[in-house]
Amino acid sequence: MEWEATLFKSLVQMQTLQNVLSADRLASVEQALKQTFNHTNVQEIEVLRGGLSASAVYKIKVQEQFYVLKLDVPQPGQLQELPGAMEIAAAGGLAPAVFYLNPAEGISLSAFIKSEPLHTVFKPATVLLPALAKTIRSIHELPLFSKESNVQQTVAGLLTQFRTSGMLQGAAVEECLDYCQLVLDAYPWEDEDKVSSHNDLNPNNMLFGEGKIWVIDWDAAFKNDPYVDLAVTANFYVNDAQQEELFLEAYLGAEPNAEQRARFFLMRQICRMVYAMLMFRLAGYSSPEGTAHDSEIESVRLAAVKELLGQGKINLGAYPGQFLFGKALFNEALQSMRSSRFNESVALIKRIWS
């Protein structure tokens, strides 16, 4: 209703830096504003995101223009001599312009993009998937990021932590974790063909505005295997074999070969498991003390859970939604790794890379 919109706008305008930000962040944020705009006058401030991670994100209005203020965990003593991933992506036209970046203080200021969800713009999937593939190709063609990480060790660590936590138990759980170990042992992690990779291309991090797709939240970006971005995106948008073929061909510029299909398929399962582990970790933090976690996973189907998410019936900011979504991802990976394609893919990769 019109009165609700007016009230909301009034409340946003009443917010100030002083009553929104904690005292320990206020001085450094004011310094960032002064360095960027030569003053600290913020007309409006509105929370965009916060609570699921260490970052808090705000939409602020300065001199009649909107910007995004992001507060990460400060990293005292960290000097950024080389451009970071967000700056490289912004220079390449993939991320919003960056006006201020201070990793030591954990503060960034960037352009605010008025956007709408991709699925409302790119219809049907035959239009959306090539657009996503083109965006991923553009990310991978950026100058190589300096930051790197051992993905194999990271995934192995997440799986070990989950197994020892005892959150889920039973034959199906152990079966799935054993399949993951097969992938960790077979996948060509040593392949030196690395690219600049975002590593978290979920729907919240890809926006459409000003006539193009923008990619935000580059915190997890580093040089990586190209199939990670492809797999993460596919796990949200690719729903069948025909769509998979369209997506891969749009990215590769040619029909995928057997090795490319196998690596893509195996990485999809690893990425599903990583997202499941992160959901379970959040669920562990959110669950009331003494919660008995239901270990039954095989009845929890990802398609049904996605539908509930789309209907707003599941909240990923609370334990029930986090735990259910984690189980759905876990089960989706399990069912895929029980397939003949899984065995064939593992065997093919071993044969090529042994």
Q: Which tens digits make up the pLDDT trace of 29-47?
A: 999 999 999 999 999 999 8
> Which helix (DSSP H) or strand (DSSP E) does residue 215 occupy?
strand 212-215
Q: How many residues does the chain have?
A: 354
Contact partners, residue 270, CB within 8 Å, separation at least 6: 155, 180, 183, 184, 187, 231
Residue 53: its pLDDT value, please? 52
Tokens of 146: 């300096």
Residue 51: its pLDDT value, please? 41
Nearest to 302 by CA among 272, 263, 268: 272
Residue 29: its pLDDT value, please? 94
Residue 75: its pLDDT value, please? 81
Contact partners, residue 87, CB within 8 Å, separation at least 6: 98, 101
- Domains annotated on the chain, with CATH: 2-111 (3.30.200), 118-353 (3.90.1200.10)
Ordered DSSP codes for 49-113: EESSSS-EEEEEEETTEEEEEEE----TT----S--HHHHHHHTTSS--EEEEETTTTEEEEE--
Are 269 and 183 spatial neighbours (Cβ–Cβ below 8 Å)?
yes
Residue 267: its pLDDT value, please? 99
Residue 210: its pLDDT value, please? 87
pTM of the shown model: 0.91
Q: Which tens digits make up the pLDDT trace of 227-286?
A: 999 999 999 999 999 999 999 999 999 999 999 999 999 999 999 999 999 999 999 999
In whole angstroms, what is the distance from residue 104 CA to residue 106 CA? 6
Tokens of 218: 């580059």
Residue 300: its pLDDT value, please? 96
Nearest to 274 by CA among 185, 179, 158: 158
In whole angstroms, what is the distance from residue 81 CA to residue 91 CA? 16
- In the three-class reduction of DSSP (H, G, I as helix; E, B as strand; rest coil), residue 306 is classed as helix
Residue 3: its pLDDT value, please? 44
Residue 80: its pLDDT value, please? 63
Low-confidence ranges of the chain (pLDDT < 50): 1-13, 50-52
Residue 52: its pLDDT value, please? 41
How many Cβ atoms are within 10 Å of 317's Cβ, its own excluded?
Answer: 11
In whole angstroms, what is the distance from residue 29 CA to residue 106 CA? 10
Structure-token match 């993905």, residue found = 151
